[in-house]
Structure 1
Amino acid sequence: MAASDILNQALHFVRQYPVPVVLVLIVLNLLWNKFQPGLVSIPGPTAAAYTKLWRVYSVWRGHAHLDAVNLHKKYGNLVRIAPNHVSVADPKWIPIFYGIKEEYTKTGFYPIQCISWKKNPEMNLFSTQDPEYHRIEKRKVGHAYSLPNLLQSEAAIDSCTNLFMQRLNEFASQGQPIDLGAWLQYYAFDVVGEVTFASKLGFLEQGSDVDGMMKAIEGMLTYASLCGQVPEMHQLLLGNPMFTKVMPAMETWNQVLVFTLKAINGRASIKRDGELINADSEGRDMLSRWAYVKSSDPDKMSTRDIVVHLSTNVFAGSDTTAIALRAMIYFLCRNPRCMQKLVADIDAADRAGKLSNPISYKEATDIPYLNAVLKESMRVHPSVGLLMERHVPPQGVEIDGHFLKGGTIVGINPWVTNHNTKIFPNPEEFRPERWLEASEQQLKAMDSLWELNFGGGARKCIGRNISWIEMQKVIPEMLRQYTIELTDPKKEWHVVNHWFTQQEGVICNLRSRK
């Protein structure tokens, strides 16, 4: 029988019995997923080995971070959480998966989180999968994120702190409860504005979500976290080329990009051809620095570069910091002994004349218990709540006797390593003293896990110094000026994990200590 006859008979059969054929194909696909060599013997939820939908459901529920911790408690070091995804708990793989050389490359989860500029997708330092592109772009802007350069804007950050204290005083003087979790995010947004544009973004002044940006970012993260579990669907949804043809350019409707361009135009002008002119070259903020580089050597910095990196600051610069700040206040309030100890240390430094008004970054770093509280808060409640995915390189890798072929997706969830019982005994307990009592060897092991909160290797969060400065400065200033208590001490906060582990319900009463 000729090949054409066989094909015609097959097509006839498919047309005659479409539903059974589709069902058979689905079953075959599920069986292939389940019995892939190297993966079939790795334990995990039964459904996860057959379909990515188990993982989508876990993320949709908003508890994927807790699922990850519980799965590793149940199954051990390796857990298969999707047909081609393996979650790893052993900390020794951190420098391998997230090494400087980037042999383990980012997956399709990340490009979903990029902007579109003039209807073209534009990758940022976080979203790009290309290590060489990342190196080129980081060389352009990395210097601006160094601690010494950021501290040149400390006076501008202080202005945010002073305004924040003024707004808190309004609630304290009236005896009104305050959603301190929301106000901490307002503070983080305005600090990003000062560092990025030399201008507050208006959150503290208005006491609300300016231009709906917080809500917009929440929506973007929800989409990215869910679609990121099945990234091929992005090409059928918002990544569909038809979407850009029927929709206006992103810079006209995406709140983050619109706000970024508005902030840029407040200090400069963007011509229709995309050229940036009339920017202030004297300031210490990032817009000024990068506009100056562009004006002096256009080959080193383009308008596209400036827009992409500034919008990334606005998008990513507040959520993770606000999560950490909320965690510190929440855990201190729920652990009065720790709160009393930190307040006593701050007061002692204040009485000794070691603190300015407001407290400087350098002064705060000289309060050991404060640093312990910051680290312990971020350990117990990391901001990142999903697997930090990477592709296994082409040669494959053997982990605990299982050979994973190239292209398999592996990664570590910071919630898993931060709750490692060997490194952090009684990991659920909030105990800042563990950072002060540890031996040098223990502390090194603890720090190596804790650092994963900011990513690893070449892809470590470039804005981590901004967050660290904010946390060091604003927490001791708040506790120096106010007694802070949860309005309902028995009520736990509500956490939803859509990539970032956002908390709600940090409602507090404030009393002035003056």
Structure 2
Amino acid sequence: MQIILLLGLVGVAYAVYLIKSIWFTPLRNVPGPFLARFTNIWYLFQVHSGHVERKNCELHETYGPVVRYGPNRYSFNSPEAIKTIYGHSTQFAKSSFYDAFMVPGRWNVFTERNIKFHASLRREYQATFSMSNLVNFEPYVDQCAKLFDQRLHEVSEAGVAIDMGHWLQCYALDVISQITFAERLGTLDSGEDIGGVMKSLEDSFYYGSTVGVYGSIHPYLFAFVSFLDRLSGSGNGQGIGYVIKIAQEKINAYKAKPAAIYQETEDGSEEFVSKFMKQNAANPERFTTNHILNGCAMNIGAGSDTTGISLSAVLYYLLKNPGCMGKLREEIFAFRKEGRLSESPTYKQSQDMPYLQAVLKEALRLHPAVGQPLERVVPEGGATIDGKYFAQGNIVGVSCWAAHRNKAVWGQDADEFKPDRWLITDTDKLSAMNRSWMPFGVGSRTCLGRHISMLEMCKLVPRIIRDFDFELVDGLGAEWKTTAYWFVKPSNFRVRVRTRSTIS
């Protein structure tokens, strides 16, 4: 009887808490799905479904610029919210959602929630990832682009359709491995998932995107999953833990090479691990061996899916819009005829190609890699966002997908692929669009590897559009299928490839 009474009192207390938090909060009028007022299970279900990015866009279409998607979770899509939440001077820390993307007890730049510690970490890596360092990596990208070109010629000769999304990730994974360790993983050799790295990444993103909804349980669930892994005898680790293991093995193998390998080559190329080791040698207390490991693991963990997805989006939207494909090809051939585009296009050359740059920006607008809101916690003292006051502790965030389809910013054709929108002369309009364009994040947490991703795209896209014709197996009218577990990844993106008989 006492237990029943106790349970009854707990139930009543919880009911009172719900009534108070739902009906007597200043935010009770923020619209959203009914169940989301009571529980985060609604959001968890949407994430598990694999289409949370679409649902977020639908919510904003239905309810407006501010939407509730959990009892204390709020999504925004306006430029004002982007500036308030992510601006460089703001104090909105990441939410516990990001904890699920880390190995408990290990820090990394992406998941670190302490603003000051994150800033100190980022400073240590900033120079290596800077735009000025890009030229050091071009020879590595050229090697992989040439091999990818060869694979496409072989596919053309065989007359078979391929999953282009998979092959573009193979390219991106080999590039980032080459840039990081001066050694490809080998995915471009056969198209196989060497060492199961791709599968481990997919597992980690599913785990992180779902478990992150209840981030506080991550340490316990991770320990349980790791226990089951050891019990099974595989010993390989799970998800991001396996990626860290691979990175450590690569670092150890690199250190075992002759000392001469650490020197820069004649073309100026120098891999990340070499740069990191020099930083460690110069100041081992400031740039530790953990900095080396986390920098290398970060490259592998975040450097293939993002770029592979973005390249897939570029090709997909060009194939869905033949007029845009023709216009880009005209620009490529014109630059080649004028001697302004090399056999292996350089990054500098690509920057002079306005339509190419417009195509890249528009593809990343319509299909940014990340599909979930970039969650932050309202700091002490609360904050006013889009005219509403949010008390400290509430979780707020902007989804790139919703922000990139806000018709108040992009116009009534926001859902259409129109690269020419980036070629207008209205500087005020361009500035407004750029402020809402956030495929690599925004503010102090902008993706460190964004320049590398753009380097890979700027060099590969003009090359393959020049050398090959592509055709969607399912036809122009069919929409491709994607699954969103943190990253919105295409599945079975079937394409036929044909070598162009004449290259103007």
Query: Match for residue 199 of structure 2?
Result: 215
Structure 2 counterpart of 1:99: 87
Q: Structure 1 residues 420 and 268, CA, compared in 2 at 3 Å: closer, same or farther?
A: same
Mapping 1:78-477, distance limit 5 Å:
78-115=66-103, 121-238=105-222, 254-269=241-256, 280-283=261-264, 284-425=270-411, 426-450=413-437, 452-477=438-463
SS of residue in 1 equivalent to 2:448: coil
Does the 8 Å contact 1:87/1:411 carry over to 2? yes
Describe the shift of the 1:21–1:476 C-alpha distance in structure 2 as closer, same or farther (beyond 3 A). same
Q: Deviations over 1:93-120 (max 9, x none)?
A: 212211223411111011221235xxxx
> 2:33 aligned with 1:45, yes or no?
yes
Inter-partner Cα distance in structure 2 for 1:367 and 1:241: 49
Instruction: Read off the aligned partner of 1:164 and give its amino acid letter.
Output: F
Report the equivalent of 1:64. 52
Residue equivalent to 1:486: 472
Q: 1:269 to 1:40 in 2, by over 3 A?
A: farther
Would the alpha carbon gap of residues 241 and 214 (structure 1) be closer, same or farther in structure 2, given more than 3 Å must change?
Answer: closer
Instruction: Give per-residue Cα distances to partners, 1:40-72, cap 9 Å, x unaligned.
Output: 121111110111111111111111111111111
Quote the offset at 1:300 in angstroms.
2.6
Distance 1:396 1:309 in 2: 34
Deviations 1:265-291 (A, max 9, x none): 221159xxxxxx969432411100111
Distance in 1 separating the partners of 2:156 and 2:207: 38
Q: Does 1:34 align with 2:15?
A: no
Point out the structure with max Rg over C-alpha.
1
SS of corresponding position for 2:287: coil
Per the TM alignment, residue 21 of structure 1 is displaced from its structure 2 partner at its CA by 4.8
Deviates more, 1:242-251 or 1:412-421: 242-251
Secondary structure of the 2:470 match is strand
- Aligned residue for 2:192, secondary structure, equals coil
- Post-superposition shift, 1:406? 0.8
Q: CA deviation at 1:235?
A: 3.7
TM-score by length of 1: 0.90
For 2:196 and 2:230, the matched residues in 1 are separated by 24
Contact 2:75 2:399 in 1 (8 A): yes
**Alignment partner of 1:229: what SS?**
helix
CA distance in 2, matches of 1:480, 1:296: 45
Partner deviation per Cα, 1:187-227 (whole Å, 9 max, x = no partner): 00011012111111111013111111111111111111111
Structure 1 residue runs of 4 or more that deviate by more than 4 Å after TM superposition: 17-23, 239-253, 277-280
Q: Which residue of 2 aligns with 1:504?
A: 491
Aligned to 2:43: 55
Partner SS for 1:434: helix
Aligned to 1:495: 482
SS in 2 for 1:122: coil
SS at match of 1:454: coil
Contact 1:349 1:355 (C-alpha < 8 Å) held by counterparts: yes
Distance 1:408 1:181 in 2: 37
8 Å CA contact 2:53, 2:371 repeated in 1: yes
Partner of 1:73: 61
| Cα shift at 1:354 | 1.4
Structure 1 residue ranges without an equivalent (≥5)? 1-11, 271-276
Deviations 1:375-417 (A, max 9, x none): 1101111111111111111111233553211111111111111
| CA RMSD across the alignment | 2.4
Deviation at 1:242, TM superposition (A): 9.4
CA shift for structure 1 position 147: 1.6
Worse overlay, 245-254 or 74-83: 245-254
Q: Report if the CA contact (8 A) 2:400-2:439 is conserved.
A: yes
Identity %: 34
Shift of residue 27 of structure 1? 3.2
Contact kept? 2:86, 2:442, Cα under 8 Å: yes
Separation (CA, whole Å) in 2 of partners of 1:403 and 1:148: 41
What are the residue-to-residue correspondences of 1:20-31 with 2, within 5 Å? 20-21=8-9, 23-31=11-19
Per the TM alignment, residue 420 of structure 1 is displaced from its structure 2 partner at its CA by 1.1
Whether the 8 Å contact between 2:84 and 2:385 is mirrored in structure 1 is no
Q: Tell me if structure 2 keeps the 8 A contact 1:111–1:123.
A: no
1:239–1:98 Cα change, 3 Å? farther
Amino acid at match of 1:443: L
Note the alpha carbon deviations across 1:341-374, whole angstroms, 9 max, x for none.
Answer: 1111111111222111211111112111111110
Contact kept? 1:38, 1:402, Cα under 8 Å: no
User: 1:231 and 1:75, CA in 2 relative to 1: closer, same or farther beyond 3 A?
Assistant: same
* Contact in 2 for aligned 1:187/1:204 (Cα 8 Å): yes
CA deviation string 1:171-194 (max 9, x = no partner): 011111111111000000011012
Unaligned runs of 5+ in 2: 265-269
* Counterpart contact for 1:33–1:51, Cα < 8 Å: no
Q: 1:164 to 1:241 in 2, by over 3 A?
A: closer
Residue 267 (structure 2) aligns with? none
Report the number of matched residues: 491
For residues 425 and 67 of structure 2, what CA distance do their matches in structure 1 show? 30
Partners of 2:235 and 2:301 in 1: CA distance: 14
CA offset digits 1:74-104 (Å, max 9, x no partner): 1112111111111112211212211223411
Q: 1:400 to 1:512 in 2, by over 3 A?
A: closer
Q: Could you tell me how far apart the structure 2 residues matched to 1:78 and 1:252 are? A: 40
> One-letter code of the match for 1:373?
V
Q: Distance in 2 between matches of 1:231 and 1:240?
A: 15
CA distance in 2, matches of 1:251, 1:304: 20
Once residues 287 and 36 of structure 1 are traced to their aligned partners in structure 2, the CA distance between those partners, rounded to angstroms, is 55
Following TM superposition, by how much is the alpha carbon of 1:505 offset from its aligned partner in structure 2, in angstroms?
A: 2.7
Give me the whole-angstrom Cα distance separating, in 1, the residues matched to 2:230 and 2:456.
41
Matched-pair contact (CA < 8 Å) for 1:115–1:308:
no
